[in-house]
Amino acid sequence: MLALLALAGACGEDEKLTPSEAGRSGAAGCAAFGGGGKSHTGSGTGGRAATAPTAGTDLGGAGAFTGSSGTSSTGKSGTGGRRDPSGGNAGSDGRIAGSGGTAVADGGAGEGGEAGAGQSATSGAGGLGLGDAGAGGDPGSAMETTLSISNLAIAANPHMTISCFVSWTTEEPASSEVDFGAGTYAFRIRDTALVTDHRVLVIGMHAESDYKIKAVSSTGTKSGEAEGTFTTGALPGNLPTPTLTTKNAVTMQPGWTLMNTSGAQAASVMAMYDEDGLPVWYFVDGPGNTQGAIDVEFLGSSVLMSAGSDEPAREVDFSGTILWVGPANPVTTYPQTQTHTISKTSTGNYLLNIDYWIRTPDATWIDALVQEIKPDSTEVWSWHLFDHQPAAGTRGDVCHGNAMTLDEVNNVLYYNCRFLGLLKVDRITGNILWRIGGGYDTTTYGPGDFTFNPPESRFDDTHDPELHDDGTILFYDNGGYNNRPPGGLHSRVVEYQVDEKEKTATRTFEFPGDFSVDPWYSNNWYTPAFGSAKRLANGNVLVAAGDPANSKTDAARIFEVTREGEVAWQITLPLGYTVYRARRVSPPPLVSRLP
């Protein structure tokens, strides 16, 4: 009898036992899949229901067996279906009689599946026959897949006219996504954290435009959405809208461009521009800041900006909420003024670049001071240039420090003096380990420690050296300091392969160099101040030629150039505006295109 039960429970889809197998010790009924049950007959002394298969398999219900007396017993219906939350095939009930009896099999309903259609058989002592079809089972119910979303609200961002907050509630923890676009949905912002109270900051919109907004949440098995609209406001009057002059979508590096903008004695504005040159994020840096030399650093989830005239350094999140405020920076108070550049360490401290004024009866000197402070402005480390390179020459601004890169692993600081070159500083002793000197001043402290290859590739005075893991350093070479219109002076970007052991700097890239370019790059490009060069993920170089000598007739340009000398992207600012430094944020923060 145990062997029979095991055999009956093993029946598969459309599987049929032979009469001899079915008649070993009783009549075995095989369960149906959704298409109908099969039954087999034989003679024996009695039978009982086979065990129903486990739910979630491809099996249907189990059959039943009777003895030779001709009475019938009913098998239990199966609960299984295919592994699909929307339902699978139904099980079935089988009833089989012994000798001389009649069996009828009814199709049973599976949980969440289609109705089964059973088949029946009649049996006698020596024959096998087919009976009428069993009645179909009731349809199963589908699993619910809709997630309820309520309390949708769309509120303007008080810190930015082209941004908003979208909030909503879900009945159970779910992810957060906002799709948005002008006319059609084109972008989305996602947060995978499972919550019931949702609030998403939306950035990436253009000014004075109507946007469709859709909130989307998912639990993994359920999803829901709700729609609304938002109209962006006008841009601040001192935020310029550039002109897009070049865009090659194939060769350019996708992303947004982060930079400062200053002009017309108005407050400086930090901004991100999209690939079409339109503002998609901004922060007004206080009414007192009209200084153009403002560094803007992208920290992944926030933006850090250096101090300006009468305004402290600040760190803000993407909503424009201020996260940190540095020490005050009144420009009329000596002996020190924060300027040009700033950075943040992995420990959360801040590095400030400071002009440290030294006044004597005979002269005024500007020492370069780098100060590391905690968020509460407590000093933890500092370095003075004049402690290791005493003041000399006739120019009070000996160094004019404008950039710094901290190597925390090796505990060294790379510090750029516009007029002296790039210094490598031991953070423990403060000693200058080497100097890659420029050509602007080779008399006060000598030409530096490195030989240039070829010799004529030596830079003059620079901004924004960028050190790479492959041992190369990229410079923005202003080309000589002169506030008058160009007279043989010319700006460029240049990269060197640096050998610290041999003390050589070999040119590996230069633009415009010998490339065939528009005459502006080879004849008119001269910026007596400001400037940056950044290598992008695709190998291109993003250049900020942000302070043209002929500011009344020549516009500041931010452009991207390939290693083959092709200008792949360029925007120009309205006349009178300047840019100190530009960075490509790629991919854009928080925002991605809809597939």
Ramachandran assignment for 411, one of left (phi > 0), alpha (psi -120 to 50 degrees), beta (any other):
left
Task: Give CA–CA dist 160/181, Å, rounded.
Answer: 18
The token pair that represents 262 in the structure block: 């200053």
Could you tell me which residues come within 8 angstroms of residue 94 by beta carbon, excluding any fewer than 6 positions away? 29, 30, 31, 32, 37, 39, 61, 62, 63, 64, 75, 103, 105, 118
Provide the CATH topology of domain 149-231. Immunoglobulin-like (2.60.40)
Mean pLDDT of 144-162: 96
The token pair that represents 535 in the structure block: 């290598």
User: Which residues does residue 543 pair with via DSSP β-bridges, in sequence order?
Assistant: 533, 559
How high is the mean pLDDT of the chain? 80
Q: Which of 222, 139, 217 is CA-nearest to residue 176? A: 217
- 79/137: higher pLDDT: 137
Q: What's the pLDDT tens digit per position in 300-316? A: 999 999 998 889 999 99
H helical segments located in 203-278: none
The token pair that represents 81 in the structure block: 């279906």
Look at the alpha carbons of 353, 359, 360, 366 in this order and tell me if their dihedral is positive or negative. positive
CB 215 within 8 Å of CB 190: no
Task: Give CA–CA dist 439/455, Å, rounded.
Answer: 11
Q: Which of 522, 509, 450 is CA-nearest to residue 479? A: 522
Phi, psi of 98 (to 5 degrees): -85, -150
CB 477 within 8 Å of CB 493: yes
Mean pLDDT of 554-567: 97
Is the model's pLDDT at 426 over the cut of 70? yes
Mean pLDDT of 156-167: 98
Instruction: Map tokens 């996602």 to a residue.
Output: 190
pLDDT score at 289 = 76
The token pair that represents 466 in the structure block: 């960028």
Same fold, 149-231 and 274-557+572-590: no
pLDDT score at 485 = 66
The token pair that represents 131 in the structure block: 């009976």
Is the model's pLDDT at 16 over the cut of 60? no
Task: Give CA–CA dist 242/309, Å, rounded.
Answer: 25
pLDDT score at 165 = 98
Looking only at the bridges linking them, the beta strands covering 72-74 and 92-97 are: antiparallel
Task: Give CA–CA dist 59/89, Å, rounded.
Answer: 9
Mean pLDDT of 224-236: 97
Cα angle, residue 543 at apex, residues 540 and 548 outer, rounded to 5°: 155
Q: What's the pLDDT tens digit per position in 326-339? A: 999 877 666 789 99
Mean pLDDT of 527-542: 97
Phi, psi of 524 (to 5 degrees): -115, -10
Mean pLDDT of 40-60: 35
Domain with residues 274-557+572-590, CATH architecture:
6 Propeller (2.120)
User: Which residues does residue 344 pair with via DSSP β-bridges, in sequence order?
Assistant: 350
Q: How far apart are the first and last CA of the chain?
A: 61
Is the model's pLDDT at 132 over the cut of 50? no
pLDDT score at 590 = 82
- Buried b / exposed e across 388-406, counting CB within 10 Å, b at 16+? ebebeeeeeebbbbbbbbb
CB 584 within 8 Å of CB 252: no
CB 31 within 8 Å of CB 92: yes
Q: Which of 59, 60, 26, 62 is CA-nearest to residue 41? A: 26
Domain assignments of the chain as residue spans, ordered by start: 1-143, 149-231, 274-557+572-590
CB 235 within 8 Å of CB 282: yes
pLDDT score at 286 = 83
pLDDT score at 332 = 65
pLDDT score at 589 = 78
The H or E element containing residue 21 is: helix 19-22
